[in-house]
Amino acid sequence: MSFPRDRLRRLRRSETLRRMVRENKLSCDDFILPLFVVEGSGLREPIVSMPGVYRFSLDQIVDEAKRVADLGVPAVILFGIPGQKDARGSGADAEDGITQRAVSAIKAGVPDLCVMTDVCLCEYTDHGHCGIVDQGRVLNDPSVERLAQTALSHARAGADVVAPSDMMDGRVAAIRHILDDHDFDDIPIMSYAAKYSSAFYGPFRDAAESTPQFGDRRAYQMDPPNRREALREMQLDLDEGADVLMIKPALAYLDIVADARSNFDVPIAAYHVSGEYSMIHAAAERGWIDGERAMEEALMCIKRAGADLILSYAAAEVAARLDS
């Protein structure tokens, strides 16, 4: 049938009706909040390019984790920024590294909060690349060895989930093997399976002090024009032992999120990255858009595309509104 019998506006005429027939709904359980932890004490440093986001010292991050848990957000993912960096990224797998200490502190203070860790070297290397560099080239296999050791150190510290974000070939298999060999076979891997070499990471690199000191990351992160290649990356990570597949960025790659949902029957995560987050805030500060509505719409679009889990710097602020 058609108009005038079919009138789709009938079910849109009140908020109650709209709520009742809504196909997708945001929930606190959808969210993972990224947190930055730094050396020092009493620090809650605002990140200028990411309004509402801070770097926390170890003594402050547990209180932030408690606040997040009280809002109903079930998980955080930690990005550690060490006091000293070197070419090898020695702090990445140090037993007393900043991330390892943060994991232990949060698990002791907020035991029911799921603590995930970003497994990469870029925050720890003085050159800012995600792996071991030799004569200007990022080496794959030596980098994978370092990443596996880093993941193991996070598991030993108490991490609930490890999340490799480097895009080195074979790193999921190496991490799965080393975890299993050390009796951490119950620790899931959330793989940044399709991580694109995106222009939307700028504010994050300010926050994590991880801008490459030479070149860029196009030789290992995915090329933005490629769609089919993402499915190959995801299938390889599943074959190597990944439990959750992540797409990064999210908003600019909703087609990839939808492809993942259509092709793989595993949990799909998507990272609402710093540039996507900060653009909304910047426009809202100028009065060009309704920031709260735009942020929730953006997150809803990510969920509608097929994401089960959404990493977003807006997780806590949106969760607070969902609870009210």
Is 195 part of the annotated catalytic residue set? yes
- Please give the pLDDT value at position 300: 98
Selected catalytic residue, list 66, 85, 107, 195: 195
Closest by CA position to 149, among listed 177, 130, 168: 177
Query: Cα separation of 228 and 206, whole Å?
Result: 31
- Please give the pLDDT value at position 213: 73
Is 248 part of the annotated catalytic residue set? yes
Partners of 95 in beta bridges: none
Topology of the domain comprising 27-323: TIM Barrel (3.20.20)
The domains of the chain are located at: 27-323
DSSP 212-271: -SSS-STTTSBPTT-SHHHHHHHHHHHHHT-SEEEEESSGGGHHHHHHHHHH--S-EEEE
Helix, strand or coil, per DSSP, at residue 279 = helix
Helix, strand or coil, per DSSP, at residue 189 = strand
Regarding beta strands 44-46 and 161-164, do their DSSP bridges make them parallel or antiparallel, or are they unpaired?
Answer: unpaired
Whether the CB-CB separation of 253 and 183 falls below 8 Å is answered with: no
SS3 string, 109-144, reads: HCCCCEEEEEECCCCCECCCCCCEEECCEEEHHHHH
- Please give the pLDDT value at position 78: 98
Selected catalytic residue, list 85, 107, 248, 303: 248
- Please give the pLDDT value at position 219: 85
- Please give the pLDDT value at position 57: 97
Q: Give kind and range of the element (H or E) at residue 188.
A: none
**pLDDT digits (tens), the chain, 324 positions:** 799 999 999 999 999 999 999 999 999 999 999 999 999 999 999 999 999 999 999 999 999 999 999 999 999 999 999 989 988 999 999 999 999 999 999 999 999 999 999 999 988 998 888 888 888 888 999 999 999 999 999 999 999 999 999 999 999 999 999 999 999 999 999 999 999 999 999 888 777 666 777 667 788 899 999 999 999 999 999 999 999 999 999 999 999 999 999 999 999 999 999 999 999 999 999 999 999 999 999 999 999 999 999 999 999 999 999 854
- Please give the pLDDT value at position 215: 65
Q: 3-35: string of b/e by CB count within 10 Å (b at 16+)? A: eeeeeeeeeeeeeeeeeeeeeeebebebbbbbb
- Please give the pLDDT value at position 323: 54
Q: How many CB atoms lie within 10 A of CB 290?
A: 13
The C-alpha torsion from 114 through 118 and 124 to 127, rounded to 10°, is: -160
- Please give the pLDDT value at position 128: 80
Closest by CA position to 231, among listed 258, 200, 267: 258
Query: Cα separation of 25 and 22, whole Å?
Result: 7
